[in-house]
Amino acid sequence: MCVLAADGECSVNTEVKTEAKREIKQLLSTVAVDIEFGDESMNIQGKVALITGASRGIGRAIALQLAQQGAKRLILIARDRQKLAEVAQEIERMGVEATIMSLDLTKPAIVNIAVAQLWRSYGPIHLLVNCAGVAYQCSFLQSKLPQVQEELSVNLLGMYTLTSLMARRMVSQREGTIVNVSSLMGKVAAPTMATYSATKFAILGFTQALRRELAEHNIRVVALLPTLTDTDMVRDLKLFRWVVPMTPEQVALVFIRGLQKNQAEILVGWQSHLAIWCQRLFPELLEMILHIFYPKKSSPITYRTSGEL
């Protein structure tokens, strides 16, 4: 293990019903949706990958799954060095090289130095997985500006900084894949998660724009949209308990299949497909469902997590 340090109304007719059935079939018969790149699949074997948020949850599960798929080296980034070291040990037992770096992605100057050091030591890096994120769950009227700023800084600006530095280097080698972890809440916003949902919507827009810009440089840009996932956060979450969480390992498996199938948006879980189907065809019904499961005013919530929803 290598450790690095870095400072109108309309009637429903037969045609509409047919189209609805077709869309339902499409949504429920796949695990990943919407866009595919081409026929050439991504070969993970022998590649170098950098994963942020790799100390736990989805980031950790993706790192372990990439190791099982035969990656050459995994660069693990998070704030918790001890947990990173534990993940690295698991990876090295699989015969895969691992490098850890404790890094605050909200510090652009430090991130710049770290990326230069990593690329010089272990480049080229073929795969970037932006999985780091934080979330606060609370009523919008109870939200605090420091919490909002942290969500924006980590979920958006930190991802932007790292992606910018990595993309420029990938362009020079005319090869690379960038995966931005959004969420089902990047498609369907949830009460009490206003800022988090906003950042996840923004990640999707950012990803779609980059996908078109970087395609000419042979760089693929992918969005991963997990549903509610069984991380440390879910134990205290007071919203959507009717949703059965997936495990991080299940999310990681879907992620790998999506990469191998060259899908540009990887939507995880049948519940996610159902929610998006409902939003597209019956938005009023979805609003009713969200209202029913809105937390009671007598139970204010403020919860911080580094996991993914």
DSSP per-residue codes, 266-298: EE-SHHHHHHHHHHHH-HHHHHHHHHHTSPPTT
pLDDT score of 7 more than 60: no
In a domain, 215, yes or no: yes
In a domain, 150, yes or no: yes
Residue 57 · residue 231 · CB < 8 Å: yes
- In this structure, are strands 263-267 and 33-36 parallel, antiparallel, or unpaired? antiparallel
Residue 168 · residue 112 · CB < 8 Å: no
Average pLDDT over every residue of 85-94? 97
Question: What pLDDT was estimated at residue 6?
Answer: 61
Return d(Cα 45, Cα 297) in angstroms, integer: 51
pTM of the predicted model as reported, rounded to 2 decimal places = 0.81
In a domain, 114, yes or no: yes
Instruction: Please give the positions annotated as active site.
Output: 196
Confidence of residue 292 (pLDDT cuts 50, 70, 90): low
Question: What pLDDT was estimated at residue 286?
Answer: 66
Number of domains in the chain: 1
In a domain, 15, yes or no: no
**Cα-atom radius of gyration of the chain, to the nearest Å?**
20
Average pLDDT over every residue of 201-211? 96
Place of tokens 């037992």: 93
Q: Which one has a higher pLDDT value, 184 or 144?
A: 144
Question: What pLDDT was estimated at residue 1?
Answer: 74
Question: What pLDDT was estimated at residue 298?
Answer: 40
Task: Single out the residue of 204, 191, 207, 229 nearest to residue 306, CA to CA.
Answer: 229
Question: What pLDDT was estimated at residue 295?
Answer: 55
Q: Which one has a higher pLDDT value, 283 or 161?
A: 161
Question: What pLDDT was estimated at residue 296?
Answer: 54
Average pLDDT over every residue of 179-185? 90
Mean residue pLDDT of the chain comes to 82
Confidence of residue 257 (pLDDT cuts 50, 70, 90): very high
Question: What pLDDT was estimated at residue 105?
Answer: 96
Q: Out of 40-44, 46-50, 120-124, 207-211, pick the least confident.
A: 40-44
Q: Which one has a higher pLDDT value, 254 or 187?
A: 254
- In this structure, are strands 48-52 and 219-225 parallel, antiparallel, or unpaired? unpaired
Residue 215: which domain range? 31-305
pLDDT score of 192 more than 90: no
pLDDT score of 82 more than 60: yes
Residue 244's CATH number: 3.40.50.720
Question: What pLDDT was estimated at residue 209?
Answer: 96
Q: What are 27-39's pLDDT values in tens digits?
A: 444 433 444 445 4
